[in-house]
Amino acid sequence: MDLSERRAADAAAAQLAAGVAAYGLGIAEAEILDRRRGSTAAAFARQVAMYLCHVGFELSLARVAMAFERDRSTVAHACHAIEDRREEMQFDLWIGALEAMLRKAPAPGAPRELAQ
C-alpha cells in the first residue's frame, strides 16, 4: 500500500469512527469532522472518535492526527481523556460497545467483484 492509499484508508477509518461517535452521542458527523472546535459536545464527540480510531483500528497517534487534520498532541490528549473516563463503569461499557462496533467493521477496500 503506497502513502496515498494509506492516507485514504486512514481518512476512511476516521470517517467511520466519527460516524460511530456521532451515532453514539447524537452529534452530526460533520460537526465531529469540522476543522473548528465547535461546541463542547462536538469537541467531546471528536475526542471519542479519535480514541475509537486509535484503539479500534490500531492506528498510531500520528496517523489519527493526520486523518482528523489535527496535531498529534491533540489526539494524545483526547485518548488520555477518554482512557481516564474508562474508570467509570457506565462509560467503560458504552465506549467498549462502540469500540466493538469498529472492530467488527470490514477492512477498507471492497473486493474487486463488489466494487464493479
d(CA 33, CA 84): 23
Q: Which of 31, 33, 106 lies closest to 67, judged by CA?
A: 33
| Structural domains of the chain ordered from first start | 3-104 (1.10.1750.10)
Express each pLDDT in 37-82 by its tens digit: 889 999 999 999 999 999 999 999 999 999 999 999 999 999 999 9
* pLDDT attached to residue 71: 95
- Helix (H) or strand (E) holding 3, with range, is helix 3-25
DSSP H helices, 38-88, are 40-56, 61-68, 72-85
Q: How many CB atoms lie within 10 A of CB 47?
A: 21
